[in-house]
Structure 1
Amino acid sequence: MPQIHLLSGGAAKGLVSPLQPRFLAQTGFAVEGRFDAVGMMRDQLLAGTPCDVVILTDALITQLTASGHVAAGSARPLGLVKTGIAVKDGAALSPLATAAQLKQALQAATAIYFPDPVKATAGIHFMKVLRQLGIDAQVADRLRPYPNGAAAMQALSQAGEPGAIGCTQVTEILFAPGVQLVAALPKEFELATLYTAAVCSQAAQPQAATDLIELLASEEAAPLRSAGGFESTTA
């Protein structure tokens, strides 16, 4: 069976996975996808990992276009993804509308699960939020970093500590079994990241890559994008 290779930030897994059977039926191509922190996926692309389609933050796609690793003119926005707070299914949901409420929830947490603070979009931002709240040192011994948001949410779902919470991109929370979204981060700490899909310059299957991007960004996939946590870039 012919296939195309996808390197993607973890935020898009919940969008890509449900569309793979439809794409196979329409084109005859299977999607061999890798999903991880955006920095990790960028590094794999730069290292020469086979790639037909890449889905990363718009800023990284712009950089990769400038460096010649992404085909100019091939990029399509998929939507804005916010960062949010999660708890295990069945756990109490605390209000998180203000900075004070977020600070209180983090201080009360017995463990805090989140993605890579160096290479993951949400992980980098979450550490910044902790510093802005002035509690990074206070909660340091309760931080549980994982390579990506999906791994962090899986660990949260299996956590034995009552009162554990997590932070990652909303798309990853909604896609992960065993956890539930409490809320996006309060307005003053909001991170809405634009995710974009593009064709890799060295794509072995450039037409199939274009077809996949068209499907992901299509009107027919709009309900799936919305349900999965991708917000429209237009008002």
Structure 2
Amino acid sequence: MSALNILSGGAAQGLVASLAPKFKALTGFDIEGEFGAVGAMAGKLRAAAPADIVVLTAAIIADLARENLVVSASISDIGLVETAVAVRAGDSPVSVKDAAALRDALLASDAIFVPDTVASTAGIHVAKVLSQLDIADDVAARLRVFPNGATAMRHLAETDAVRPIGCTQSTEIISTPGVILSGSLPPGCELSTMYAAAVTTRADNARQAQRLIDLLTDADQRELRIRAGFLGGGK
């Protein structure tokens, strides 16, 4: 069976999955690989893990281009992804209209589900926001840290905590059954991250990788990108 090998940030997993049937119809290729914290995925590429295409933050892809690990001419922006707050389906939404409301919501929770605070875009930012709000020590014991946002959201959906909350990228919240988007992080705490795709310099299936990039960024897929949580970007 022919397959395109992908290394991708978790933010793009839902979008890639939604386009996989169309991609297979166009190319005959399935899509296989890994989705996780962007730092970890970049590390795998640097360690020579097989990959035809990467979908990571634009900043990391720019670094990979300088390291001659991706083809510079193939780099294409997909769209901006906001870091946001999630609650378990069935729970009341929490107010995150400003920094004070976000602080109150985090302090009121008994479990806070987040992605890797060292290697993931959202996790690094969450750690920064907790320090900025001066509550890092107060909530440290309540943090539930997972390798990526999608895993964190799955655990949020299944938790038996009384007042759980989650914080990761909006795309990961939207694509996870059992959780709902409660709101983007407020002004002063917000983060919008541009994601991009590129063909790797060691790709075995470079032509098909470019086809997937074209599909991910096609103007005809704009509404699909928006529903998946991507803003702007594309062709």
TM-score w.r.t. length of structure 2? 0.98
Is the aligned partner of 1:71 residue 2:40?
no
Mapped partners of 2:233, 2:62: distance in 1: 17
Is the aligned partner of 1:187 residue 2:159?
no
Where 2:5 maps in the other structure, the secondary structure is: strand
Q: Output aligned runs, 1:1-235, within 5 Å.
A: 1-233=1-233
Give 1:34 shift: 1.0
Mapped partners of 1:9, 1:219: distance in 2: 22
Which deviations, in whole Å up to 9, do the C-alpha atoms of 1:54-90 show, x marking residues without a partner? 0000000000000000012110000000000001001
Which deviations, in whole Å up to 9, do the C-alpha atoms of 1:3-54 show, x marking residues without a partner? 1100000000010001111100111111113100001100111111110000
Where 1:177 maps in the other structure, the secondary structure is: coil
Give 1:206 shift: 0.7
Superposition CA RMSD, Å: 0.9
Give 1:233 shift: 4.2
- The one-letter code of the counterpart of 2:73 is G
Mapped partners of 1:86, 1:173: distance in 2: 7
Mapped partners of 1:76, 1:230: distance in 2: 14
Give 1:220 shift: 1.6
Where 1:83 maps in the other structure, the secondary structure is: strand
Mapped partners of 1:135, 1:162: distance in 2: 20
Give 1:94 shift: 2.2
Which deviations, in whole Å up to 9, do the C-alpha atoms of 1:81-104 show, x marking residues without a partner? 000000100101122111110000
Which deviations, in whole Å up to 9, do the C-alpha atoms of 1:176-220 show, x marking residues without a partner? 010000000001111000000000000001111100100010012
Task: Name stretches of at least 5 consecutive residues in structure 1 with no aligned partner.
Answer: none
Percentage of matched positions with identical amino acids: 46
Where 2:78 maps in the other structure, the secondary structure is: strand
Q: How many residues align?
A: 234
Mapped partners of 2:131, 2:19: distance in 1: 39
Give 1:107 shift: 0.4
TM-score w.r.t. length of structure 1? 0.98
Mapped partners of 2:72, 2:56: distance in 1: 15
Which deviations, in whole Å up to 9, do the C-alpha atoms of 1:78-136 show, x marking residues without a partner? 00000000010010112211111000000000100000000000000000000000000
Q: Say if 2:75 and 2:198, in contact at 8 Å, map to a contact too.
A: yes
Give 1:161 shift: 0.7
